Amino acid sequence: MLSRVADSLYWMSRYLERAEHLARAIDVQLHLALDEAPAFASVGWICLLNGLRADLPAHLCADDRAVTDALTFDRSNPSSIVSCIAQARENARQVREQITTDVWEELNRLYLAVTARNIDSVWKSGPHEFLRSVQRGAQLLAGVADATMDHAEGWQYIRLGRFVERAMSIAWLLDAHFGLRSLEWEGEPTADDFVAWSGLLRSFSAFEPYCKSHTVELRPNRILNFLLFSAEFPHSMRFCATQIHSAVSAIGEWTGTPRGATVRRLAGKLESELAFGSLDDAHAVDLAETLRQYVRRCLDVHNAVYRRYITYTVDEALRESDLDAVNR
């Protein structure tokens, strides 16, 4: 596969995953703002912006409408929903022959639905239905790609992009959330804590799955353990790491052995740290540092994929081949 094609498919998927995550997080925060005092609502927006790595003026956090506009429709913000979907569409357009007509049509439908709206029309009718339509559109696209594309090399890049983006989003939002909250790890949560913890779970569509595993008692330790180490939940770090390892292994096989041994080793390292990790390890090191280490592991995989398959020069390819031979 051409490196240009791999790059476009990978980023198309990352932008769609980012748009879905952003739409869900904004929707949850707008719901929380109805139940929280203004001071707590402002902290919630700050937490969200930190978790999104969004560089927006702090004064916006006092105005639900203004911050929603900046995160949703501001085209000068490269991480807004409309910017993410536009960039996903542009990447898809560049590799139109590599995706199915169903994927292309659904992506265009989502793009037109988002660009036809603005903050005035959305705010007037209530933003929740619009934000949920963005989530459904992105989820539908992922499902259509899974159902209509060959599960060959191109599809593996789509899967890789989705789970790299999701894993980093989880780590960043957990880092922001646990960094801002004073924690009683096992104590009875206050009413404000309950709202905040349930909001964190809903930001990953995790409230119901968590309750099935741990009942409705919300405890920071249990929440963190679920979002980091659940092997079955699709929005846990461990699940993402397993998918990342599987995708890079499949890409390595498609490109022919022995290429990609270094990439597989880095992805396997991330997966094993989460498969055999525990909260005790995270607390012993420092939770924030542990979460940032997971992000660095994801970036290591991302950079290795680029060096090996996308932006390599002949000299780099030869060096990587030597490393692969050592790592086999």
pLDDT for 188 equals 66
Cis before 258? omega within 30: yes
Nearest C-alpha neighbor of 36 from the set 59, 61, 73, 72: 61
**Mean pLDDT of each 10-residue bin along the chain, 328 residues long:** 90 98 96 74 83 79 89 93 98 96 97 96 92 97 96 96 97 88 62 82 95 86 94 97 97 76 94 90 79 95 92 68 60
pLDDT for 259 equals 64
pLDDT for 321 equals 62
Do 106 and 141 contact (CB within 8 A), yes or no?
A: yes
pLDDT for 241 equals 98
pLDDT for 19 equals 97
Distances (CA, A) of 216 to 52, 186, 194, 197, 212: 27, 14, 10, 11, 8
pLDDT for 292 equals 93
pLDDT for 197 equals 87
Q: Is residue 218 classed exposed, middle or buried when 0-12, 13-18 and 19+ CB atoms within 10 A define those classes? A: buried
pLDDT for 284 equals 65
HSE (side-chain half, CA atoms, 13 Å) at 85: 29
